[in-house]
Amino acid sequence: MIKHLRIDNRLIHGQVAVTWMNSIGADKIIVCNDKVAADPIQKMALPMAARGNTVYVFTIEETINYAKEHPEETMFVIAKFPSDALAILESGVEVQDVNVGNAAPIQGTKYKMVTKSIAVTEDDAKCYRKIAELRGGVLTSRLTTMNETENFLDLLAKNGL
């Protein structure tokens, strides 16, 4: 089962490798993004950033297949973009929690900063709303395990998205 699905375009960093893994109690980290999975340098470097945790770098399809084939495992999935997370949720794979963690601005896009660490475009906002629909109308944001959980749909609305 995917115990925690985090949307964070930084992927694996110290906060994820230590704090989130300890909080979640997952067996492994799966980084989910088609382009990242096709990049041999990232496939080699990301596990090194995980400080001894088991890491797989998968395409969206590989992530879905792995989750379906290993329902007894406790997985922490990090999706690079909301579209990656949406594809996982639309597949019907069981996901316990979904969290919007970080989304650095992407050059050349029209984005709004909805928090100090989350940039959102119109297309992203549509994707986040679809995610919320699949989650019973709920989508949360929490940068670190020490931060308060925020209603992400409220953050979008506050920023005209």
User: Annotated catalytic sites, by residue?
Assistant: 13
Q: How far apart are CA 16 and CA 142, in angstroms?
A: 12
Tell me whether residue 72 is exposed, middle or buried, using C-beta atoms within 10 angstroms of its C-beta: 0 to 12, 13 to 18, 19 or more.
exposed
Backbone angles phi and psi of 32, in degrees to 5? -120, 110
Q: How far apart are CA 114 and CA 141, in angstroms?
A: 11
> Any alpha helices (H) in the chain, and if so which ranges?
14, 21-24, 34-37, 40-49, 60-69, 82-90, 122-134, 152-158
Q: How far is CA 3 from CA 26, 27, 94, 122, in A?
A: 7, 10, 8, 28
Structure tokens at 143: 């940068």
